[in-house]
Amino acid sequence: MKDLINMKKENPKKNIILSQQFSIEFLNELFKLTDFMKQNETKVSEELRGKIVSLLFYESSTRTRFSFESAVLKLGGNCITTENAAQFSSASKGETLEDSIRMVSTYCDFIILRHNEDNSSKRAVSVASVPVINAGSGKSQHPTQALLDLYTIYEEFGTLENMKFAIVGDLLRGRTCDSLVYLLSKFKGNEFFFVSPDNSKIKESLKNYLVENNLNFSEVDNLDDVLPAVDVCYMTRIQKERFESLVEYEKTKGLFILDKENVELMKDNAIIMHPLPRVDEITLDVDMNKRARYFEQAKNGLYVRMAILKLLNDNV
């Protein structure tokens, strides 16, 4: 399957690195398989029987890590992992990412990698002898998050075309917005409103991509101005851990908040999404609002990741 990128000509293994790599045909196949996983969750599967999946997480995680581990177990495979690869792997002794990946490759069938460097997945693929799945690379990409986001939108609306999206929060340091926008840009007629603090605007790379591909987008200062127009409000947190100065973070946080008052500006059938974790950008009273989908979205991560692992395993 060509969508599961082969990053290195001499390495025939398949990888998941960037959300741009997926074709619409692949997404359709993935979503059908995700539906199947969701409907058959309780049935024990043998898809990964005898396979070992290594979870190498150099940054903290709740959803990505637990949902991938759960997906592996539900498919009959086994996981090897460390609580914190930055601290408990030999990275703490100065081992390079490349050397660690070379070694871990020899002990498992797949590597799921989260790392603080933007280029980490490509570096890993360049030396890995097994498929690598990017589970979050620095500020750049989180492709499996984008796949579960897209699945959630499709499940809700039955289409991925001609929709309006507010993309809100730390668009400079976050990675989920980039991955999602690259994916949504594959579908016609979508429009994006980017809402972020002045020091956290969308990356030049994403902006250039949108301009070069004649996609419809604008950067706006006031969230309430766009809430009545959008089908999806995709909130994200300000990425405290990626700020160089705590003072700058304190000035940046709390500027765009969805609460029980402004959420009522949204259309009745619009939805609120968030990759989570949230800090203060969606108040707790919004959780009961009919438009809130972020917990269902996170749960879909399990089924999407089960489908991803099956497709990758079928195409090794």
Burial group, residue 37, by CB count within 10 angstroms (0-12, 13-18, 19+): buried
Handedness of CA 144, 145, 146, 149 (dihedral sign): positive
Is residue 142 among the annotated active site residues?
yes
Among 61, 78, 81, 82, binds ligand CP (CB under 6 A): 61
Q: In this complex, which beta carbon is closest to ligand CP, that of residue 73 or of residue 229?
A: 73
Q: Give CA–CA dist 288/191, Å, rounded.
A: 27
Catalytic residue among 65, 74, 115, 142: 142
For ligand CP, the binding residues in 249-308 under the rule CB under 6 A are: 275-277
* Residue 63 is a binding residue for ligand CP (CB under 6 A): yes
- Mind giving me the DSSP string for 97-110? HHHHHHHHHTT-SE
Q: Give CA–CA dist 228/210, Å, rounded.
A: 23
What minimum distance in Å lies between the beta carbon of 164 and ligand CP? 23
Cβ burial 240-259 (10 Å sphere, 16+ → b, else e): eeebeeeeebeebbebbebe
What minimum distance in Å lies between the beta carbon of 229 and ligand CP? 26
Q: Which stretch binds ligand CP (CB under 6 A): 19-27, 61-69, 152-160, 281-289?
A: 61-69
Q: In this complex, which beta carbon is closest to ligand CP, that of residue 105 or of residue 134?
A: 134
Coil/strand/helix, residue 135: strand
What minimum distance in Å lies between the beta carbon of 65 and ligand CP? 6
Binding mask 112-151 for ligand CP (x = CB under 6 A): ------------------------x-----x--x------
Is the Cβ–Cβ distance between 82 and 56 less than 8 Å?
Answer: yes
Is residue 114 among the annotated active site residues?
yes
Number of residues that bind ligand CP (CB under 6 A): 11
Is residue 293 among the annotated active site residues?
no
Is residue 34 among the annotated active site residues?
no
Helix and strand numbers, DSSP H then E, in the chain:
11, 9
Is residue 122 among the annotated active site residues?
no
Catalytic residue among 9, 42, 43, 93: 93
Nearest to 128 by CA among 13, 206, 284, 249: 13
**List of residues contacting ligand CP (CB under 6 A):** 61-65, 136, 142, 145, 275-277
Active site residues: 63-64, 93, 114, 142
